[in-house]
Amino acid sequence: MALRPMVNIFALYASISLLGVPVMPAASQGGDSVKEWEKFDFRLRSIDADQLKGLSLVQLKYLRGILFGKHGRIFQEAAIQDWLKNRPWYKPDPKYTVTMLTAVERGNMDAIKEAEHKKHSHIEPGDLKFYRTVLITKSELGTHSRIEWLIMREEIEAIHGKRYPETPWLQGFFDERYWYHKDAKYSPAQLTEIERANIRTIADAQKAGRGLALAPGDMEQFQESAISADLLQGLTLFELRLLRNEVYARHGKRFHTQWIQDHFEAEPWYHAHAGYEEPKLSQIESRNVDLIVKDEQRLHEQLSEKRLEAKSLNGLFLEDARKLRNEIYARHGRIFKDRWLDGYFRSFKWYHADPHYSEAKLTALERGNVGTLVKYERGAEKEANAVAA
């Protein structure tokens, strides 16, 4: 008699499984524990949230692997890809795109991601959709890699369809997200006050994680006080340029250079004037701009006058290193096919396009620096690709 309840439980499990509604043993953590889910038709059948309650984060990760793997997706996330390789039904498809997913599959991914989100001890990449109307606190953010900080910050705008022509790898990352839809009409004006506040909170945490004393967005503190050279340590050329232009932006300057204008329009404090006139800066603000310009010039000159040490690049994002490498070419007048790079360098007064440019114009030192940057870019790209889907 004592065995009857147990027999009934297994009979119930078997009957439910035959109906295509998997029930997973909560205690099991490995890939084998989701075998029943491999029979589930994610394309046509919707997951009930109750079915996911007993699953661990590891099991939910494999569920994502099954859903995408049925379409042949090749994962950068090694744990999922290695597991999929041992599935007899898995056929890797280099031509896979997220457009293959059905509406039902996207809904199922929403359910899986929400289940994962509820089990996270801190906010992770992919969780920001759950904070569109909820303010993020510093304690909820936890610790992340520099790539994860960037993705989390940008995810808030990507949810609205923001495009990333200036950062191809970031564009590629979001293109692979099942929820992402590019919107040519996206404007930072679409962001709510809560979303703007969350961007600022994440940016502050990102700055602390990089050990920076000053970062774009901080110049409000220096409208009446001088900055010092040591506060600029660790900033990239891209960040220095934003910092310099922020001094003007806080006076409402409207910028001819579109990517700079787009950047400031996403800031909650920015209110652009109608025209493009130069605002009048205070004496302190002018000194701050001069100091930043001096630091920019120093870094620019080093590209052609000093051998780059690999350790000096630590902390740069992939696109930061890409801009530095292309600047070496740009200094000799290279014309860029990439529209964003072309616009970026044409916005510098020192840039003069040369239709007769050739790499033969580079010095041996410059070629060596290009090689150092290429090697760094490869490592940075590998790090970016390692971020979980």
Q: Which residues contact 99 (CB under 8 A, 6 or more apart)?
A: none
Distance CA 174, CA 166 (A): 14
pLDDT of residue 30: 56
**Tokens representing residue 58 in the block:** 């590891």
**Tokens representing residue 149 in the block:** 């900080």
Among 80, 76, 3, residue whose Cα is nearest residue 11 = 3
pLDDT of residue 389: 53
pLDDT of residue 388: 58
Among 8, 9, 385, residue whose Cα is nearest residue 170 = 385
Distance CA 285, CA 282 (A): 5
Determine what percent of the chain falls in helix, strand and coil, rounding each to the nearest 5. Answer: 55, 0, 45
Each residue's pLDDT, cut to its tens digit, for the chain (389 residues) gives 444 444 443 344 434 443 444 444 433 455 567 888 999 999 999 998 899 988 999 999 999 999 999 999 999 888 899 999 999 999 999 999 999 999 999 999 999 999 999 999 999 999 999 999 999 999 999 998 888 888 999 999 999 999 988 788 889 899 999 999 999 999 888 999 999 999 989 988 988 888 889 999 899 999 999 999 999 988 888 889 999 999 999 999 999 888 889 889 878 789 999 888 889 999 999 999 999 999 988 888 888 888 888 877 876 778 888 888 999 999 999 999 988 889 889 888 889 999 999 999 999 999 999 999 999 988 888 777 767 55
Please state the length of the chain: 389
Q: What structural domains does the chain harbor?
A: 22-119 (1.20.58.1690), 122-211 (1.20.58.1690), 307-389 (1.20.58.1690)
What are the b/e assignments for 57-74, b being 16+ CB within 10 Å?
A: eebbbbbbbbbbbbbebe
Among 160, 128, 133, 131, residue whose Cα is nearest residue 144 = 128
The SS3 of residue 60 is helix
Sequential DSSP letters for 139-174: HHH----HHHHHHHHHHHHHTTT---TT-HHHHHHH
Q: Write out 318-332 in H/E/C secondary structure.
A: HHHHHHHHHHHHHCC
pLDDT of residue 373: 93
Distance CA 24, CA 299 (A): 57
| Other beta carbons less than 10 A from residue 15's beta carbon | 10
**Tokens representing residue 240 in the block:** 């220095």
